[in-house]
Amino acid sequence: MPANKAEFVHVQEAAHALVGMPANVEPLAKGGRNSRVYHVNCGAGEFALKQYPCGTDDLRDRLATEVGALKLMEQHGFAAVPRVVRVDRARGFALLSWIDGAAVAEITDSDIDAAVAFLDRIHALRAAPTAKAQPLAAEACLSGAEIERQIGERLEHLLCRSGERDLLLFLDRSFAPAFERARTTAKVKADAAGLDFAGELQPQWQSLAASDFGFHNVIRRKDGSLAFVDFEYFGWDDPVKLVADVLLHPGEPLPAPQRRRFRQSAEHLYRDDRLFAIRLDAYLPLFGLRWVLILLNEFIPNRWRRRVSAGVTEGWAEAKATQLSHAINFLAALPEKVEG
């Protein structure tokens, strides 16, 4: 729920303005950790109302990014994503078509195939004239050096948390040695393949990517088909990052058989790039370490404030302890997750 009654009134007013009539507004039980999503029911039908964060350290225009991505897909006949109905830029809301369904409880081989087919359609959009207007994906990683830089930057922010003894012990004794091994190995593999670790990926091998893509952002519709949501981070990127995030995302971990199936299918999808599989093999452990640090975002005060504004209700100390435990376990399981 919104943090207070006044905030909820603000949401109701936005919903009323966008649908043009009084409406029943209910927060979704499982909304995003950074944005809020509401179910709107009125005489005109059912809608999803998405409220985007504002006044944070995040300089990306998430509303414009998602609206732009959805409109691009609508232009090209995508049926498995929401439609943009109306936008209230002043208040920071988008009204989207309602997709009736539920979270994916069990991921099957056919679900993997459906996700790959969806990514194939997005990959094909790279040739569309209007696709050039899309931004870089959030935290795009167009080189091995950029992945290394992002990890280093995140690590630096966490090392500043001087009062967090358990966190600092984990970073020093477990994370730092793993990071050193992974980047050394990545550079050796890149060099052996003639891949420039520091060089930016050429535009012809970049793809449009639904960054933060994964089964945590998938709805199983009543007929069993899948719909895909949440395109706040959409844009141009190395598809290796997209594939790595699907393989490793801690929010919806893939069972080992489906992980192998997805990886093999992705390598086939992006096969025109002869270095795709090499980059994936070399950089996958680094992306895993990047996820370890993302799990620790709760230790960063401004990131925690963003969580609270999105409706998180647990206490900060409890959240930090929980996320540190998740990070420790994720790091321990990473060697298994990155195996081909």
Burial of 172 (C-beta count, 10 Å sphere; 0-12/13-18/19+): exposed
Residue-wise pLDDT for 178-199, tens only, equals: 999 999 999 999 999 999 999 9
Using one digit for the tens of pLDDT, what is the confidence trace for 90-142? 999 999 999 999 999 999 999 999 999 999 999 999 999 999 999 999 999 99
φ, ψ (nearest 5 deg) of residue 96 = -120, 155
pLDDT at 301: 85
Residue 62 CA to residue 172 CA, distance in Å, equals 34
User: Domain 102-337, what architecture?
Assistant: Alpha-Beta Complex (3.90)
Q: Which residues have CB under 8 Å from 234's CB, separation 6+?
A: 65, 66, 68, 69, 134, 137, 208, 209, 210, 211
Residues constituting the chain: 340
DSSP structure class, residue 78: -
| Residue 202 reports pLDDT greater than 70 | yes
CA distances from 288 to 64, 94, 218, 328 (A): 29, 32, 22, 12
For 27-42, the pLDDT digits (tens) are: 986 555 567 999 999 9
Q: CATH assignment of 5-98? A: 3.30.200.20
| Domain coordinates in residue numbering, the chain | 5-98, 102-337
DSSP string across 259-303: HHHHHHHHHHHTTTSTTHHHHHHHHHHHHHHHHHHHTTGGGSHHH
pLDDT of residue 16: 94
- Cα distance between residue 195 and residue 216, in whole Å: 33
Q: Return the pLDDT at 88.
A: 96
